Structure 1
Amino acid sequence: MGSMKLTNPCIKEALLYKKLDSGVRCETCERLCKIAPDKLGFCKTRKNIDGKLYTLEYGDVGSFISANPMEKKPFYHFWPGSFALTVGTWSCNFRCPWCQNYHMSTRPPDPERCNYLSPEDFIGLVKAYDCQGTSISFNEPTLLLEYSLDVFDLAKEEGFYNTYVTNGYMTPKALKLLIEHGLDAMNIDIKGDDEAVREYCGGVDVNKIWRNASQAKKQGVWVEITTLIIPGVNEDEECLRSIASRIRRELGESTPWHVTQYYPAYKAIEIGLFRGRTPVELLERAWHIGKEEGLNYVYVGNVPDHRYDNTYCPNCNEPLIERSIFDVVSYRITEDKKCPICGESIPIIGEGKERITSVF
């Protein structure tokens, strides 16, 4: 492993760790793994090599790269109609049995088979695919912290935006670095209330996710929240109201909340979770709960052409952005970001535009 450490571009010393008498403590995510010599942390992406902590997947993104519309993330109020070059890699710091990207999130990295893409080449592809920004997504992007920072620095030099689609369980130190290096927007997955997240995600403390969401918002990062509605896990009214009310209290009434349809995947069927897609009626009930709790922008996701997938003026209910799957087919917000009918200010980051065809 020593020679590989010196020559393999996917193996790089981690930025956030502390040396202990009996190993090292990773300070990338809130699991704060204590890692003995020659051992891996919980996510299996970081290893103690000769008393130093190394990431094993720096830039190992070549297998997972695509030009995605913002609406696919989903981001509905951040550069509507634009594209972000999106990459991901291996493993995760959660253990959700319903994971939609389990083919990536459940596999540890293999440095011997590293599919390396340098930050410079990544930005070159952003230009080649005529994208407006970057997105680290697919699996948990926090595991690509060191790579993200290098990509973000280069992206900012070229005038591109930077986004994360994340479970939000990074440490405050990691979040601070991301913001300092140019993180512009985060879509954070709130998977349920405290009980559901602890039970199904591997002992996770959901309050630390809310802490990060709030801190990011205070530091000027655009934040949207997504909740995958899973019957038997987080569909009860008390749980949904707790999420919606907390969004309003801690992030503000204009923070978008995406309540999305669940598709059975991975181990969910084996352990007796719901066997079919989330009923649309249940998603609509979640939408109404969000509105009742005072949220201005609630969206039903993964249901193509649903009326609640559109953006409406919270004052006069005028349709402002109409969407079809991942396409923006109508954009009526004025240049000064107001409703054209009543003049209500609409929170939109960046320019919005119609897009009739998408790149998938």
Structure 2
Amino acid sequence: MNTENAEHPEGQHPAHYWHRLEDGRIQCDLCPRDCRLNDGQRGACFVRQRVGDEMVLTTYGRSSGFCVDPIEKKPLNHFYPGSSVLSFGTAGCNLACKFCQNWDISKSREMDRLQDQASPTAIAQTAQSLGCKSVAFTYNDPIIFAEYAMDTADACHAQGIQTVAVTAGYVHAEARRDFFAKMDAANVDLKAFTDEFYYRLTGAHLAPVLETLEYIVRETSTWLEITTLLIPGHNDSEAEIRAECAWIMDHLGPDVPLHFSAFHPDYRMPDVPPTPAATLTRARQIALEAGLHYVYTGNVHDAAGDTTYCPGCGAPLITRDWYEILSYHLTPDGHCPHCQHPIAGRFESQVGRFGRRRIPLRMGG
């Protein structure tokens, strides 16, 4: 499904995943919102639009910015630790999170914010020239620019570059299959573990996200890690955290890393206080008690919550300070050197040493 070279008006690219309705509208089949559009209307994501009798993607080849990051910032702690990743996003989102931490990008309705232009091939070549192990589709949800992300993934794989999706996982089955077939790793935001939270604070539903998580683990080779942003008074009760961890154990298994991240007041929730570090520490303990092997804390300075421990003997194997690796003790084939327990993930014989740098880039045509 490569449409990089298709002819189309400036700023418009043919989109997949839609069908015509008997009443004359067309329905977008990308995600469970099922937006039904008359000519000229845009979906809830704002970037998929009906033009005439077709659906187009209005952000193909246009980005809100590029940056070289440590892979741990995605966060992915078990996917080539210490390596660098070329990150980029576009505009728009198919969720309406009141707590969005990237709202200036994901909620943007101004296409002139998209100042960087780059073809899939240019992105792959740039990543290779910068020594990046992977390219990440992030900042806003790559599901809504699936055609651009998938074409870029093809170009990256041709250059030996891995691909990473940072997503909320809110997607229909056909697009889910096509999209994750091209992703080497994903961090999925499991925003809460109640449908009431999803409906009230994101305008979406929980069930499709759980379906995506199960699909990735059972039907793909994509490496999966999960992030839950704990928001005081909304999704941080011990009961909800226990329910989430029990579901992960039962449906995904103990080896899927789980990141609990700290909320900071932003967007439409400026009056909610930041997440106390103690809440993250307690959530991590609950997850470990539930049997999960790899549990991390984010957006706080927490040595234990940054460290990868062996599930077999408990030895610290990868110690981190924020996004910087301080020590690395895995064998070349990804085992604990003390008890030979296999550590789940994607590893190389030499750990990367990119550190905590963040390098913004400017790209053009």
Is the TM value for this pair above 0.5?
yes
Give 2:43's match in structure 1, choosing from 41, 44, 51.
41
Residue of structure 2 equivalent to 1:210: 210
Rounded to whole Å, the distance in 1 between the matches of 2:301 and 2:286 is 21
Offset of residue 305 of structure 1: 4.3
Deviation beyond 6 Å, 4+ runs, structure 1: none
Residue of structure 2 equivalent to 1:247: 248
Offset of residue 7 of structure 1: 3.3
Query: Is 1:295 aligned with 2:296?
Result: no
Residue of structure 1 equivalent to 2:353: 355
Q: Quickly say closer, same or farther: Cα 1:298–1:112, change in 2 above 3 A.
A: closer
Deviation per CA, 1:50-102: give whole Å up to 9, x if none. Answer: 111111111211x3111111100000111111111111011111111111101
Rounded to whole Å, the distance in 1 between the matches of 2:292 and 2:280 is 15
**Number of residue equivalences:** 348
Rounded to whole Å, the distance in 2 between the matches of 1:160 and 1:27 is 29
Query: Is 1:267 aligned with 2:268?
Result: yes
Offset of residue 359 of structure 1: 3.0
Deviation per CA, 1:164-196: give whole Å up to 9, x if none. Answer: 00000011111211233x211110001112221
Determine helix, strand or coil for the equivalent of 2:109: coil
Match runs of 1:175-324 below 5 Å: 175-180=176-181, 182-193=182-193, 194-202=195-203, 204-218=204-218, 219-269=220-270, 272=271, 274-275=272-273, 277-324=274-321
Query: Is 1:126 aligned with 2:123?
Result: no
Contact 2:199 2:205 in 1 (8 A): yes
Offset of residue 109 of structure 1: 5.0
Deviation per CA, 1:201-246: give whole Å up to 9, x if none. Answer: 01x1211111111111121111111000110110001111111111
Rounded to whole Å, the distance in 1 between the matches of 2:242 and 2:228 is 12
Rounded to whole Å, the distance in 2 between the matches of 1:224 and 1:103 is 25
Contact 1:91 1:109 in 2 (8 A): no
Contact 2:8 2:14 in 1 (8 A): no
Determine helix, strand or coil for the equivalent of 1:32: coil
Rounded to whole Å, the distance in 2 between the matches of 1:179 and 1:289 is 30
Offset of residue 105 of structure 1: 1.1
Residue of structure 1 equivalent to 2:150: 149
* Cα RMSD (Å): 1.6
Q: Quickly say closer, same or farther: Cα 1:286–1:72, change in 2 above 3 A.
A: same
Contact 1:329 1:355 in 2 (8 A): no
Using structure 2 for the length normalisation, give the TM-score: 0.91
Contact 2:334 2:347 in 1 (8 A): no
Give 2:328's match in structure 1, choosing from 328, 331, 348.
331
Determine helix, strand or coil for the equivalent of 2:213: helix
Rounded to whole Å, the distance in 2 between the matches of 1:158 and 1:337 is 25
Deviation per CA, 1:136-172: give whole Å up to 9, x if none. Answer: 0011111110101111111111111111000000111
Rounded to whole Å, the distance in 1 between the matches of 2:287 and 2:113 is 47
Residue of structure 2 equivalent to 1:83: 84
Residue of structure 1 equivalent to 2:3: none
Contact 1:13 1:53 in 2 (8 A): yes
Contact 1:330 1:354 in 2 (8 A): no
Offset of residue 357 of structure 1: 3.4
Equivalent residue letter for 1:209: V
Offset of residue 113 of structure 1: 6.2
Residue of structure 2 equivalent to 1:136: 137
Rounded to whole Å, the distance in 2 between the matches of 1:220 and 1:24 is 33
Contact 2:80 2:352 in 1 (8 A): no
Rounded to whole Å, the distance in 2 between the matches of 1:50 and 1:98 is 35
Determine helix, strand or coil for the equivalent of 1:7: coil
Contact 1:57 1:111 in 2 (8 A): no
Residue of structure 1 equivalent to 2:93: 92
Residue of structure 1 equivalent to 2:105: 104
Determine helix, strand or coil for the equivalent of 2:122: helix
Rounded to whole Å, the distance in 2 between the matches of 1:112 and 1:79 is 32
